[in-house]
Amino acid sequence: MALVCTFLVICPGDLAAEPLKALIIDGQNNHGCWPQTTQLMKRHLERSGLFTVDVVTHAPRGVDPAFQPRFADYAVVVSNFGHGAAAWKDETRAAFEDYVRGGGGLVVVHAADNSFPEWPAYNEMIGLGGWGNRNEKSGPYVYLREDGTLVRDDAPGPGGSHGPQIEFPLVIRDPEHPITTGMPATWMHAKDELYDSLRGPAVNMRILATAWCPKTKRHEPLLMTIEYGKGRVFHTPLGHETYSQECVGFITALQRGAEWAATGRVSVPIPADFPTADKASSRPGG
């Protein structure tokens, strides 16, 4: 009697990868919609199929001794803090610095670049920030000229400003980066605040996309990455309101930026409903 053996061949791509663990931190933000934007970002990340997402919320006012997230348990941390956030206690700050410096991923969204102006390590992590009395002492004002030349302006002046909320086109400046590869060279972002005049150390910072600001008549950085020690940081000043975060461009950049911050790679595809050069695209409710 012949013995017939059947072999099952399993390719690595057929095996479901373990989801990446993401943590959103929030609780002190000058934007009243922060509980809604936290839930939107949680939904965006989970719908990518790559992440499980936890949320840790700081007390609404003052220093919170109980705010001690276990950063080391996560592949990436997403900050949805804002202007006027109280300083964290020393142990939490040290744990956060160790986490990012040691290779943890960080995503900084909109007003999270307003937070903690007196925290040198945080300012280095985010590259550029605004408000909180930031000025030339915080670092140069970084922007691009019309011809694409990078300017680091050390002249005196405040850090952080914006005009009325508008739709505006983003120009991809680094199409080779994993986060932006495959995106249209220009795409229209939904109604949002267009941050300008951001200042900071801007060390080990790579500008991925800019937008021309009607207020400054300059191209302001709106997607960027920063290396901090072994850690990878994705920073976007986009995302002021729920309708801003429903933009398919924002959603895609968040998903790709979080994956890159966590792993150094990007597998999230550019969706069919991605915005075009002349038309924004949104998903109501995310």
**Alpha carbon distance 192, 124 (integer Å):** 25
Q: What is the mean pLDDT of residues 161-168?
A: 98
**Alpha carbon distance 100, 77 (integer Å):** 9
Confidence band of 286 (pLDDT split at 50, 70, 90): confident
Q: What angle do CA 210, 79, 56 make, to 5 degrees?
A: 160
Model confidence at 9: pLDDT above 60: no
Q: What is the mean pLDDT of residues 93-98?
A: 98
Instruction: Provide the pLDDT for residue 285.
Output: 86
Q: What is the mean pLDDT of residues 88-92?
A: 97
The pTM for the full model equals 0.94
CATH no. of 18-263: 3.40.50.880
**Alpha carbon distance 120, 118 (integer Å):** 6
3-state helix, strand, coil in the chain (%, to 5): 25, 30, 50
Decide: 112 and 94 in contact? Cβ < 8 Å. no
Model confidence at 24: pLDDT above 70: yes
Give the dihedral sign, CA 71/77/81/84.
positive
Q: Which two tokens stand for residue 156?
A: 């005196």
What are the sequence ranges of the domains in the chain?
18-263
Q: What is the mean pLDDT of residues 227-235?
A: 98
Give the dihedral sign, CA 74/76/82/87.
positive
CA–CA distances in Å: residue 118 to residues 113, 125, 166, 228, 282: 12, 13, 31, 18, 36
H or E stretch including 234? strand 231-236
Return the beta strands (E) in the chain as ranges: 20-26, 51-57, 76-79, 105-109, 141-144, 150-153, 161-162, 166-172, 186-192, 195-196, 205-213, 218-228, 231-236
Backbone angles phi, psi at 248, to 5 degrees: -65, -30
